[in-house]
Structure 1
Amino acid sequence: MQDHKVNSAKRKKSGIPALLALIFVIMLLAGCGNNSAADSGAGNGAAQTNAAEATPSPSPEVEPAVAEAAEATSYPLVVQDELGHEVTLNTAPTKVFAPYMEDSLVVLGVKPVGQWSNKGQGQQYLQDQLAGVPLVDFTSGLPSPEVVMAMQPDLIVLHNSYYAENGVYEQYSKIAPTYVFQQAAGDLDSSLTILGDLLGKQEEAAKGLADYRKKVEEAKTTLAPHIQDKKALIIRFNSRGMFLMGGVYGGFVLAEELGITKSDLVAAENSVELSLEVLPQIDADYIFLANDTANTGESFYKELTESALWKSIPAVQAGKVYDVDDRYWLGGGIVAYSNVIDDVLEILAP
């Protein structure tokens, strides 16, 4: 455009008095500059960002993220999963089996062909959105290839690498293309974005994440005066015992999303078995208790909360112990994490 302006000025200069030529060049430069801004705004991300800043929007975080995801997935699609397997999708999947990732599927507006369940119960906080989706029992481990095959999935997604062990990946991948995450709940931005890419639901993924990020930032602002120099700890109870939860599920929300420091006991661990002898080492200012929904951990819960050592913990004496709903505190996804944030706000900043 700059070359065009110079050449135009030369063509116009002959036969025109110098002063008029100068004025004309100045006007031409100004007009061409405006046209350049308009042209680049149609296809340049920076120009679009500037335009968005100049025009106030009710949801400034949402629109750029959604715009970036506007280009739809083209099939056939060939990708590598997080364990290095090559995954090929010839067409957009319509029959998805992604056990324990139903939360993310709900955000994307996708109903799976089957949903994770334990002892006949799916993730209760999602059942309104998963009405009619058959339960697939994980009580004794992953379902057999025959059970999975009967659902006729055209994409299988395993939410952590543990699910792929002991020959499971090899068996499932013969049924349908199978994508494996290392730990989907540990990086929600990445896992939801990848799932959106696989399913051709990039716009839904981007909007869901943008809305969630806005909620996180607003919660951090509200909680800031209540969590400064404070530590938090989640204790989980089930039929196998008591466990300190680290940086996954509700622990991920507390530490990584809301910025509440983890207890030193789980600083480098996702889960640590808890015994009464460890109680004097608990350094948390806030303690959250997540008992198994079916109360299979009730005996351990009573053993802990009725012990003299428990009652001597400073957080217990200060009344900073809170029972929470394990159905989403131990869930992984935007819906679960949003519910955890709501609980924390209600508890710490009522």
Structure 2
Amino acid sequence: MFKKRLAIVFTLLTILILVSACSNSGGNSSKDTNNTDNKTAEVKLTDAKGEVVIPANSKKIIAPYLEDSLVALGVKPAAQWSIGNTVLDYLQPELKGVPKISWDLPLEQVISNNPDLIIFSSPSAIQKGQYEEYKKIAPTYVFKDEISADWRKQLTQMGQILSKQDKAKEVLANYDTKAAEAKAKIQKSIGEDTVALLWVMGDKFYLMEHNRFSANVLYNDLGIKQPDFVKNLGDAAVQWDPIALEKLPEIKADHIFLISKKGEAGLDLLSKSSIWNGLDAVKNKHVYEMNDPSFWTINGLIASEKTIDTVEKSLAK
């Protein structure tokens, strides 16, 4: 009888040990798998060069002239685009302390920043045919031109690259809400008044077509009416010809945003010009001088948000 009871107890203990071992083994297996996934997770995407495998959750990213999309997704790059001392001024509050890297990404500068991901805005952005050299430093993603040119598509794609698709959808939805609210206020304020964007650079004047840089925000996102002269320009071309001072009266805009850095020679020309001073927008004090062209002359979510804020403040009174 004693032997029988001992056998039963032994059997029960054996079963409990086996169950416990299996349970622990299953938990460890799952934990190890998760840890392995976190350490080795990769994202396979197709870019302008073909298929590329990049690490998920990259931490040290160099993406020259794409910093707007990075910052919009809550990512601070390892280095920021620059030409000499020129950087994207409007992003400096978010990029404070981020070292500069030359626009053409010299290999030695890239190596010194030790990136785990390099992103180019287009194939033409890769200088000296050094694509293979960059790939040896870190996984390299190259945007297709048609994706990079549209900031919404660019941001959505950046979300895929950085495994932040949900964040990309969130900020895009927030932008649409912001634009709709501003549109209603501006329309209530100025009605059918027309608005033109004039960029002064050196002693030259450039009129923005409806889909170039911040004009896309004004005319398409905010629904502001274009002057007929601007409408007849059509889509923005790669080349951008200046407009002669003598032709400015033909624009016939009710409001003009004058975009430039302080001290540009063209500003002095305008101030002394009877042609400029004779425009209705000037006489009616409907000219708004913008002395930071950095967010007016680039495509991006944050740049577009800043444009909305500035336009609303100027027009919705």
TM-score band, normalised by the shorter chain? 0.7 to 0.9
Change in Cα spacing, 1:264 to 1:197, as seen in structure 2 (3 Å) is same
Instruction: Letter of the 1:217 partner, please give it.
Output: A
| SS, match of residue 198 in structure 2 | strand
| Aligned-residue offset at 1:189 | 2.4
Question: Which residue does the alignment assign to 1:41?
Answer: none
- State whether structure 2 residue 185 is matched by structure 1 residue 222: yes
Output the TM-score relative to the length of structure 2.
Answer: 0.75
Deviations 1:81-130 (A, max 9, x none): 3x454332144322211122222211211111101123314323322222
Counterpart CA distance in 2 for 1:307 and 1:115 is 40
What is the correspondence of 1:179-194 to structure 2 with a 5 Å cutoff?
179-182=142-145, 186-194=149-157
Cα distance in structure 2, aligned partners of 1:173 and 1:281? 51
Q: Which residue of 2 aligns with 1:238?
A: 201
Match of 1:318 in 2: 284
Sort the Cα spacing of 1:118 and 1:315 in 2 relative to 1 into closer, same or farther, 3 A.
Answer: same
Letter in 2 for 1:340: T
Question: Is the contact between residue 185 and residue 332 of structure 1 (CA under 8 Å) also seen in structure 2?
Answer: no
Contact 1:186 1:249 in 2 (8 A): no
Displacement of 1:288: 0.8
Of the three residues 102, 106, 129, the one matched with 2:71 is 106
Return the match for 1:132 from 90, 97, 101.
Answer: 97
Contact 1:108 1:201 in 2 (8 A): yes
Give the CA RMSD over aligned residues: 2.8
Structure 1 pair 143–193 and aligned structure 2 pair: CA distance change class (3 A): same
- SS of equivalent residue, structure 2 residue 184: helix
Counterpart position of 2:311: 344
Shift of 1:168: 5.7
Listed one character per residue, the Cα deviations across residues 175-224 of structure 1 (whole Å, up to 9, x for unaligned) are 43122242667533221111011001122212211211111111111122
Q: Which residue of 1 aligns with 2:120?
A: 158
Alignment-derived partner of residue 89 in structure 1: 54
Q: Aligned residues, how many?
A: 271
Structural mapping, 1:19-34, within 5 Å: none
Question: Aligned residue for 2:106?
Answer: 144
Q: Aligned pair in 2 of structure 1 residues 212, 79: CA closer, same or farther (>3 Å)?
A: same
Structure 2 distance, partners of 1:290, 1:204, is 32
SS at match of 1:146: helix
The answer for unaligned runs of 5 or more in structure 2 is 1-37
Most deviating of 324-333 and 187-196: 324-333
Give the counterpart letter for 2:273 in structure 1: S
- Which residue of the other structure, out of 289, 304, 310, is the alignment partner of 2:270? 304
* Offset of residue 299 of structure 1: 0.7
C-alpha distance 118-184 of structure 1, shift in aligned 2 (>3 A): farther
Q: Deviations over 1:145-198 (max 9, x none)?
A: 332233222322233565246636565445431222426675332211110110
Distance in 1 (alpha carbons) for counterparts of 2:271 and 2:144: 37
**What CA distance in whole angstroms lies between the structure 2 residues aligned with 1:170 and 1:311?**
55
User: Which residues of structure 1 form unaligned runs of 5+?
Assistant: 1-71
Offset, 1:254: 0.8
1:238-284, CA deviations, whole angstroms, 9 ceiling, x for partnerless residues? 34733222323211211221112442364322543222233232232
Contact 2:63 2:119 in 1 (8 A): yes
- TM-score under structure 1 length normalisation: 0.68
2:251 aligns with 282
Q: Which one-letter code corresponds to 2:286 in the other structure?
A: K
Given the alignment, which residue of 142, 157, 172 partners 1:209? Answer: 172
Q: Give the direction of change, closer, same or farther, for the CA distance of 1:107–1:227 in structure 2 (3 Å limit).
A: same
107-116 vs 303-312, which deviates more? 303-312
Taking a change above 3 Å as real, the CA distance of residues 159 and 201 of structure 1, as seen in their structure-2 partners, is same
Contact 1:120/1:137, CA 8 A, preserved across alignment? no
- Which letter does structure 1 place at the counterpart of 2:79? G
1:76 matched to 2:42: yes
* Identity in percent: 34
Query: 2:212 touches 2:236 (CA, 8 Å); kept in 1?
Result: no
Distance 1:288 1:110 in 2: 32
Do the aligned partners of 1:117 and 1:136 also contact (CA within 8 Å) in 2? Answer: yes
Residue 128 and residue 90 in structure 1: after superposition, are their counterparts in 2 closer, same or farther (change >3 A)?
A: closer
Q: Helix, strand or coil: the match of 1:327?
A: coil
Q: Which amino acid aligns with 2:215?
A: G
Q: Do the aligned partners of 2:150 and 2:299 also contact (CA within 8 Å) in 1?
A: no
Letter in 2 for 1:154: D
